[in-house]
Structure 1
Amino acid sequence: MKRLIITLVLLFGLSALSAQEGAAPAGEPRTDSVAASGDAATAAGERADDSGAESSAGSLWDRANTAYINGDYHAALEMYERILAGGMGSAKLYYNLANACFKEGQTGRAILFYHRALRLAPGSDDIRYNLSVAEARTKDRIEEIPAFFLTEWARAVRRTMSCTAWSVLSLAALAFALGLFLLYLLAPRLSLRKAGFYGTAVAAALFVLTTWFAAGERREMLDDSQAVVMAASTAVKSSPDKSATDLFVLHEGTLVKISDRLEGWCEITIADGKKGWLECRTIERI
């Protein structure tokens, strides 16, 4: 009977591991230096179609970083954008691109790329700090609706690591849970069986928690409803019509959430809960 139970546990564990692997994805700002890496092509982008493309991306990355360090932010910005246009992207690339945009006075684009960098590296203090400085330069001062303190705490903990890191932790917790459960089933002494039982409960709880965090990070990373206002200013209308009543005005760099679309118009919600319609061309999705 025990052998049957052990076999079922092992089969369940293997199936859960497979499912988990399939679900996982993959003042002044601190802009005086750029994010560099010993592997320039990897820093510029996580993939390259061939060795020639990889070499080209690596060369552009080095030249862009050199231009940035020398204070030629316009040239650095152009080269970072060429790397991005080649279909490559990474937290380091978005971070450097955001820094260059900020130095060039493009606050809206800087905020956009800081947010994109954060989706790939949510635990980066440098990205969060520079984002807060860039947001302080925007004209709109919107008071965010406060969330329940436990929700805020859970979100803060979840953002300390990426989706991949949480997925690895959840797999480790599952492995520990299975090992401790086997200890509970097979241990000859009562004390070891008790340790196995309670250890299994704790490891299982950690598995559920880390899996929830991984799913939350993946959901946020793939969320296409967040956008940044790119126009210097844009009127938010009561309906998707240029002749509709102006409800309020938003300025460059303000974060909005898209809830609906209709023929070139987007219904948006801002942090304080206000809603309205604006032209989709005035915003860019994160």
Structure 2
Amino acid sequence: MGSVLAAAAPGVLAQPSGVRSAFETGNRRYAEGDYAGALRQYETVLESGWAGGALYYNVAGAHARRGHTGQAVRYYEKARRLLPEAASESERLQHNLGVVRSRTEAPPPAPPSVQATARETLTAWFPPFGYVVLGLLAHLGALAWWAGRRAAPERQQQRLRPGAGPAALLAAGLLTAGLGIWLAAPPPAGSGRTVALRGPLTLHAAPDARADSAAAVPEGTVLRLTERSDEGGGGGGWARVRSSRGDEGWAPTDALGDI
């Protein structure tokens, strides 16, 4: 983050003189420590429609110096996709991106869900497998009662009158076993933060590009990651995200940059 890329020279030299001048002025402001001034110059270049790895790298560095973590990750990710992987600039970019992410404060923990609280309470003293065994024993006990009643002489059958008890025991056994299976299942993935790398980014109602649109967020929006899926439509991974305004939906992971 302490230096700029002077240019992917052919790309800059091919631009109009005003764009070249703004880029070079932005680099000078950056070197002088005037990161706000550098960003103003770089914005002029961005507004011209020019896209380049060097430009995005420098914009990311200026944002990182000003503490704009979401914007820094956004532009570092955009630069990473344009700079050659074997270039030394790419190594610097990966280093800077790691530094930015390491400085990011962890988001405040979300309040535990009802499912998480129930899971923690029910497994505090009794393992999930224990619920399965207990449920199966209750289920087998109810079946044994019915089998014993059918095998008993008619006089004893009158004393073993059917009632709600065995039926309730049978149902309770099935429910307890099902509870154990649910408790044994892995909990959903934890949350994190990510940033929209393109915009407007459409959030879908399901992890499929053909699903209805649930919302749209501008490029650079910092989002809370709540769930991931590798089984969505479109041939790639999907993530369920939520914005600070409450917009929520699924987006392809290649349109997001983890913070």
Question: Which category describes the TM-score, using the shorter chain as reference length?
Answer: 0.3 to 0.5
Give the structure-2-normalised TM-score.
0.45
More helix by share: 1
Q: Tell me: higher relative CO, structure 1 or 2? Use CA pairs within 8 A at least 6 residues apart.
A: 1
Larger Rg: 2
